[in-house]
Structure 1
Amino acid sequence: MRTGYSTSANFGRPFATRAVLNIGTNVFEDRVGTVINSNSISDRLPNPNLKPELLKEYEIGIEGKFFSSRLNLDLTFYRRIASNQILDRELDPSTGFTVTTINAGSVRNQGIELALGYTVIKSKNWRWQLDGNYTLYRSLVYDLPKDVKQIVVGGFTNEGLFAMEGQPLGVIQANYTRKYTDPSGKQTNARIVDANGDYVSNPEIGIIGNPIPDYKLTGISTLDYKAISFRMQWDYTKGGDILAYTPGTLVGRGLTKDTDFDRELPLILPGVKADGTPNDIQISASRAYFNNYSGFFGMQDLITYDATVIRLREVSLAYTLPAKVIKKTPFGTLQIVFSGQNLFYYAPNIPKYTRFDPETSSLGVSNVRGLEYLSGPTSKRYGASIRLTF
């Protein structure tokens, strides 16, 4: 059994505590060849009272080996608290600045990590090892200043990932369709359509998704026969939401087989009229999809999908040359490896024929996910390598 506590600090970006003069050299040349340089004051208001973030983590775990070490177990519970978060806060441009850096709120992350390994076959020439990993984590934002309703952590102020009091870090906020409220004051799941038969969008943004998965599973199989090793890794991500414009655009413009039906026939969108009666207004197929399911008319909840995905992450075949073959060479070992990554994935809740990969992100390498803006598709990768030791 083990237990641990650790703490560290994050000091944020440089020059957030003092005024900065931006110097632009060779900005342009005038018509007589004079080189123009420029000086400008940063639009970031300095905060001399900015403090570093403080990270604290508690962990408890247990490790065990059973049945002559054929079964391995490693179970960990952890809780990580980050206080005095360093975040950007937008300012009214009339102040002369557009943003400042502040300490605001705390974020708690906690979860479970479980690793299991079992040696199914163990003989002179054969060895088959199965390994599995299960991870689950949850986050919570709290202690935000009372005058701070939300802070953008990715995306835009009217559509992005936000830190909000009492919510997971990075919830998705955007425009969404208006739902019908019955006479008793209870909101239903029925979307309201207008007099033209299109969905009605709310004037304000709201929470439409949580990108944090319910859990993740990884399974690895390693089969060895003498000097040959075959390894395969499968991943399963359950849940988590993604606001994705690629499948929304493809479906909304009728570019995939997901809309392969008789487009001459009128459609009636599921929903109700403003008075609560069922919608019976017929509209064209192009209008139904382009005006409502493309995501470009202020109803991003219609292009927010469950990002559950099954993936063949990696397959590799390795051959290690026998020691007698390389005995007279300077090498200790020599191994040849052929591998492939991202060879297959299946996302059951994404429109089938868009073939969209829900692991795609428009935020680059970051600790948040859940936004996609017509990014390039993921690719399969094949490779070969030679590994040498001396």
Structure 2
Amino acid sequence: MIDKYPNPNLRWEKTSTYNVDLEFAMFRNKLRGSFGYYYRYTKDAFLEKKVSMVNGVENYTVNAGNIRNQGFEFTFNFTPINTMLNQAAVSGRKRGFVWRLDPNFGSVFNQLIDKVKPRNKPLQDEIKYTDYLTGKVYLAGRPVNTFYSYKFKGLNPENGSPMFYNTDRYVMEGDQEVDMGEVYNNMDKEEVFRTVMTRSGCREPFLQGGISNYFGWRNLGLSINLAYSIGAKIRMFKMYPTPGNIAGPEKNLRREFTKRWQRPGDEVYTNVPGILTGAAWEDANTPWWKDRPFKFSENIWEMYDNSDLRVVSGNYLKLSSASFRYVIPDEFCKKLYLKSAYVSISGTNLFTVCSRKLKGQDPSQSGTTNLINISVRPTYSLQLNVTF
């Protein structure tokens, strides 16, 4: 069995990198920080090329693309308030109040470049429709991890099945009926895919970072760490991991099914498909394009799970951790023959502010899984630390 196919013409990737960093301090060091910018250009980037299976492998690594990456990072440390005394009182108790703020921002831009192919044209030779759905297609002029989705049209008023734009077999143009099967036969597969799909966005965020806060008063300290992400798009979890089959009583079922289509007229109020049976179920699983060279999906259930209806914003603000600490005074520690001691309570993944459309799904979780996952759960801990 061949694991990797040799390519004697494969060249090293060539990367040029430029970095600029600026550090600053202001207001008697109350405000300190740094700003960094980088630019990276990669020539002859490694990309996977589809080859015939007679070679023993399906993919072949070649030099087929140029990638431009650039980004910036901005961090600073700010102490708005600090009345904390430099020395502890005679009793060993700290006095005063301090507030420290440490935010950081980071952004990365990447773009695939091809001097021959126009914008939005794939750089690979052989493309499957799933490459568009998963963001594995490399498009000239577009960021890496750009993904596409089917264009949801609504629910069929007769049986509640999902409908999508540009997927009808026959359409009317004026007074003439046009067979879209013949139209798509005269198009490249990639053109067909982009006709029935729309660009949903990028899985990578445009801006991300964190904000750390520390509040100290006497022997008490509170640390709060926030994380944020802006600009990413994600899919909701799948509703139909098996084509149109509803899970049995021994398996979990998504709550959205309680709002499914059940009778004509429900399509006005819901976007959740109805339960199909008989001929309607067969038609949904064997669409007219399934055996065509330009096949763009297996069935309408796959299209529903990967439709623009189930793409939501991945923006979030998360309280990733928080800790409250009490430092036991020195005078009390001495009575117990201790050098120092403190007690603290802390938690992680305490809450997340994100799109309501996620319905409990964590924005850091992908919608490609067939399982029904719960969101990232919070954890709590209580700690007593003593030093002898």
Shorter-normalised TM-score: what interval? 0.5 to 0.7
Partner amino acid for 1:304?
Answer: V
Q: Which residue matches 2:146? A: 171
The alpha-carbon deviation at position 219 of structure 1 amounts to 2.1
Distance change in 2, residues 1:379/1:295 (3 Å) = farther
**SS of equivalent residue, structure 2 residue 11:** coil
The alpha-carbon deviation at position 337 of structure 1 amounts to 4.4
- For residues 145 and 139 of structure 1, the distance between their equivalents in structure 2, rounded to whole angstroms, comes to 19
1:270-318, CA deviations, whole angstroms, 9 ceiling, x for partnerless residues?
A: 9xxxxxxxxxxx9996259x98xx9834242332211111211110123
- For residues 208 and 335 of structure 1, the distance between their equivalents in structure 2, rounded to whole angstroms, comes to 50
- For residues 51 and 386 of structure 2, the distance between their equivalents in structure 1, rounded to whole angstroms, comes to 56
- For residues 100 and 271 of structure 2, the distance between their equivalents in structure 1, rounded to whole angstroms, comes to 58
Partner amino acid for 1:243?
Answer: R
Distance change in 2, residues 1:372/1:198 (3 Å) = closer
Find out whether 1:233 has 2:233 as its counterpart. Answer: no
Using structure 1 for the length normalisation, give the TM-score: 0.64
Q: Which residue matches 1:344? A: 351
Q: Which residue matches 1:266? A: 265
Find out whether 1:301 has 2:298 as its counterpart. Answer: no
1:34-82, CA deviations, whole angstroms, 9 ceiling, x for partnerless residues?
A: xxxxxxx215322233333344321223221111111223222221223
Q: Which residue matches 1:380? A: 378
- For residues 344 and 228 of structure 1, the distance between their equivalents in structure 2, rounded to whole angstroms, comes to 23
1:171-201, CA deviations, whole angstroms, 9 ceiling, x for partnerless residues?
A: 1135x127xxxxxxxxxxxx48879674136
- For residues 236 and 262 of structure 1, the distance between their equivalents in structure 2, rounded to whole angstroms, comes to 36
The correspondence of residues 303-318 of structure 1 with structure 2, limited to 5 A, is 303-318=310-325
1:78-102, CA deviations, whole angstroms, 9 ceiling, x for partnerless residues?
A: 2122333233323222333212222
Aligned match for 1:199, one of 163, 168, 174: 163
Distance change in 2, residues 1:75/1:48 (3 Å) = same
Q: Which residue matches 1:97? A: 57
- For residues 385 and 126 of structure 2, the distance between their equivalents in structure 1, rounded to whole angstroms, comes to 45
- For residues 295 and 64 of structure 1, the distance between their equivalents in structure 2, rounded to whole angstroms, comes to 57
- For residues 138 and 219 of structure 1, the distance between their equivalents in structure 2, rounded to whole angstroms, comes to 22
Partner amino acid for 1:347?
Answer: C
Distance change in 2, residues 1:255/1:372 (3 Å) = closer
The alpha-carbon deviation at position 382 of structure 1 amounts to 2.3
- For residues 271 and 322 of structure 2, the distance between their equivalents in structure 1, rounded to whole angstroms, comes to 49
Distance change in 2, residues 1:342/1:195 (3 Å) = closer
- For residues 152 and 267 of structure 1, the distance between their equivalents in structure 2, rounded to whole angstroms, comes to 41
Distance change in 2, residues 1:334/1:126 (3 Å) = same
- Verify the 8 A CA contact 2:154 2:271 in the aligned structure 1: no
Distance change in 2, residues 1:198/1:85 (3 Å) = same
- Verify the 8 A CA contact 2:237 2:366 in the aligned structure 1: no
- For residues 70 and 208 of structure 1, the distance between their equivalents in structure 2, rounded to whole angstroms, comes to 43
- Verify the 8 A CA contact 1:248 1:295 in the aligned structure 2: no
- For residues 45 and 330 of structure 1, the distance between their equivalents in structure 2, rounded to whole angstroms, comes to 69
- Verify the 8 A CA contact 1:81 1:109 in the aligned structure 2: yes
- For residues 283 and 244 of structure 1, the distance between their equivalents in structure 2, rounded to whole angstroms, comes to 14
Distance change in 2, residues 1:105/1:342 (3 Å) = same
- For residues 208 and 316 of structure 2, the distance between their equivalents in structure 1, rounded to whole angstroms, comes to 10
- For residues 272 and 236 of structure 2, the distance between their equivalents in structure 1, rounded to whole angstroms, comes to 24
Identify unmatched segments of 5+ residues in structure 2.
85-95, 168-188, 247-252, 285-298
CA RMSD of aligned residues (A): 4.4
Higher strand share: 1
- Give % identity: 20
- For residues 143 and 83 of structure 2, the distance between their equivalents in structure 1, rounded to whole angstroms, comes to 48
Higher helix share: 2
The correspondence of residues 63-74 of structure 1 with structure 2, limited to 5 A, is 63-74=23-34
**SS of equivalent residue, structure 1 residue 49:** coil
Aligned match for 2:11, one of 51, 65, 79: 51
The correspondence of residues 1-390 of structure 1 with structure 2, limited to 5 A, is 41-124=1-84, 125-143=96-114, 149-150=123-124, 157=131, 159-162=133-136, 163-174=138-149, 176-177=150-151, 191=153, 198-200=162-164, 202=167, 204-206=192-194, 207-246=199-238, 255-256=254-255, 260=259, 266-268=265-267, 286=274, 296-299=301-304, 300-302=306-308, 303-320=310-327, 336-351=343-358, 354-361=359-366, 373-374=370-371, 376-377=373-374, 378-384=376-382
Using structure 2 for the length normalisation, give the TM-score: 0.64
- For residues 172 and 388 of structure 1, the distance between their equivalents in structure 2, rounded to whole angstroms, comes to 53
- For residues 224 and 152 of structure 1, the distance between their equivalents in structure 2, rounded to whole angstroms, comes to 60
- Verify the 8 A CA contact 1:215 1:237 in the aligned structure 2: yes
The alpha-carbon deviation at position 105 of structure 1 amounts to 1.2
- Verify the 8 A CA contact 1:307 1:347 in the aligned structure 2: yes
Distance change in 2, residues 1:109/1:127 (3 Å) = same
1:334-385, CA deviations, whole angstroms, 9 ceiling, x for partnerless residues?
A: 665432111101222524xx301111147xxxxxxxx555463322222355
The alpha-carbon deviation at position 241 of structure 1 amounts to 0.7
- Verify the 8 A CA contact 1:245 1:295 in the aligned structure 2: no
**SS of equivalent residue, structure 1 residue 213:** coil
Distance change in 2, residues 1:227/1:141 (3 Å) = same
